[in-house]
Amino acid sequence: MGQPLLSVRNLVTRFRTGRGTVTAVDHVSFDVAAGETVAIVGESGSGKSVTALSILRLIPDPPGHIESGEILFDGKDLLKLSDAEIRAVRGDRIAMIFQEPMSSLNPSLTVGMQVGEPINLHRNAPWSVALEKARELLGMVRMSDTASRVGAYPHQFSGGMRQRAMIAMALACEPQLIIADEPTTALDVTVQAQILDLLKDLADRTGSALVLITHDLGVVARYADRVVVMYGGRVVESAPASALYAHPRHPYTRGLMASVPRLDGNTGERLVPIEGQPPDLARIPPGCAFAPRCRQATEACRSAKPPLREIEAGHHVACILES
Amino acid sequence: MTEPLLRVENLKVHFPVMRGVVLKRQVGTVHAVDGVSFTLDRGETLGLVGESGCGKSTTGLAVLRMQDVTSGRIEFEGQDITHHDKARMRPIRQRLQMVYQDPYGSLNPRMKVSDIVGEPLVVHGLADDRKAYDERIAELMRTVGLLPDMADRYPHEFSGGQRQRIGIARALALEPSLIICDEPVSALDVSIQAQVVNVLQELQERLGLAYLFIAHDLAVVRHLSHRVAVMYLGRIVEIASRDDLYRAPLHPYTQALMSAVPVADPVVERARLRVVVQGEVPSALRPPSGCRFHTRCAQAMPRCSSDDPPLADLGGGRAVACHLHTAVIPIVRAELEPA
pLDDT digits (tens, 9 = 90+) for A114-128: 999 999 999 889 999
Distance CA A143, CA A136 (A): 10
CA B326/CA B328 separation, integer angstroms: 6
Which residues does chain A have with pLDDT short of 50?
A: none
Q: Chain B residue closest to A273 (CA)?
A: B194
- Positions of E strands within chain A: 6-17, 20-32, 37-41, 64-73, 76-77, 94-97, 177-181, 209-214, 226-231, 234-240, 309-312, 315-317
Could you tell me how many CB contacts below 8 A there are between chain A and chain B?
A: 135
Number of Cβ within 10 Å of residue A9's Cβ equals 16
Beta carbons of B76 and B241 less than 8 angstroms apart? no
Q: Which residues contact B163 (CB under 8 A, 6 or more apart)?
A: B103, B104, B107, B155
**Is B262's CB within 8 Å of A158's CB?**
no
What was the pLDDT predicted at A18? 84
Q: Are A190 and B52 inside 8 Å of each other by CB?
A: no
Chain B residue closest in CA terms to A158:
B280
Cα separation of A25 and B51, whole Å? Answer: 35
- Residue B231: the pLDDT is 97
Residues B171, B226, B325, B299, CA torsion sign:
positive
In chain A, what residues touch B258 (CB-CB under 8 Å)?
Answer: 263
Residues of chain B with C-beta less than 8 angstroms from the C-beta of A220: 264
Tens of pLDDT, residue by residue over B70-105, are 999 999 999 999 999 989 999 999 999 999 887 778
Cβ contact, residue pair B265, A262, below 8 Å: yes
Chain B nearest CA to A197, separation (Å): 10
> Residue B322: pLDDT above 70?
yes
Residue of B165, B191, B261 to mutate when probing chain A, most A C-beta within 10 A: B191
Q: Is B180 helix (H, G, I), strand (E, B) or coil?
A: strand
Q: Tell if the CB–CB gap between A275 and B195 is shorter than 8 Å.
A: yes
Contact yes or no for B219 and A262 at CB 8 A: yes
Choose the closest CB to B277 out of A190, A246, A274. A190
Residue B319 near residue B238, CB atoms below 8 Å:
yes
Residue B78: what residue type? G
The pLDDT of residue A221 is 95
* Residue B328 pLDDT exceeds 80: no
Q: Specify the amino acid at residue B290.
A: G
Quick check: B333 pLDDT over 60?
no
- What long-range pairs does A153-157 form, CB within 8 A, spacing at least 24? A153/A107, A153/A108, A153/A109, A153/A110, A153/A111, A154/A101, A154/A102, A154/A105, A154/A106, A154/A107, A154/A111, A154/A114, A155/A107, A157/A111
Helix axes A111-122, A159-171, angle to 10 degrees: 10
**Chain-centre distance for alpha carbon A314:** 20
pLDDT digits (tens, 9 = 90+) for B33-65: 999 999 999 999 999 999 888 999 999 999 999
**CB-nearest partner of A271 from B197, B276, B280:** B197
Q: Label residue B327 by pLDDT band (50, 70, 90).
A: low
Q: Measured between alpha carbons, how far is B234 from B56 in angstroms, rounded to an integer? A: 8
Mean pLDDT of B234-247: 96
Task: Mark yes or no for CB contact A257/B264 under 8 Å.
Answer: yes
Which helix (H) or strand (E) segment holds residue B285: the answer is none
Give the distance from residue B4's alpha carbon to the nearest chain A alpha carbon, in angstroms.
25
Instruction: Chain A: give the shortest CA distance to residue B279, in Å.
Output: 7
pLDDT at B1: 55
Reduced to 3 states (helix: H, G, I; strand: E, B; else coil), residue A244 is helix
Give the ipTM of the model, two decimals please. 0.86
A264-268, B125-129, B215-219, B269-273: lowest mean pLDDT where? A264-268
Rounded Cα distance, A91 and B102, in Å: 36
Q: Is B309 left (phi over 0), alpha (psi -120 to 50) or beta?
A: beta
Residues from chain B that touch A42, judged by Cβ atoms under 8 A, are none
> Considering the entire predicted model, what is its pTM?
0.89
* pLDDT interval class at B25 (50, 70, 90): confident
- Inspect the interface and report whether the beta carbons of A160 and B267 lie closer than 8 Å: no
Q: Where do the DSSP E strands lie in A18-82?
A: 20-32, 37-41, 64-73, 76-77
Classify the phi-psi angles of A213: left when phi > 0, otherwise alpha if psi is within -120 to 50, otherwise beta: beta
- Mean pLDDT score across all residues of chain B: 90
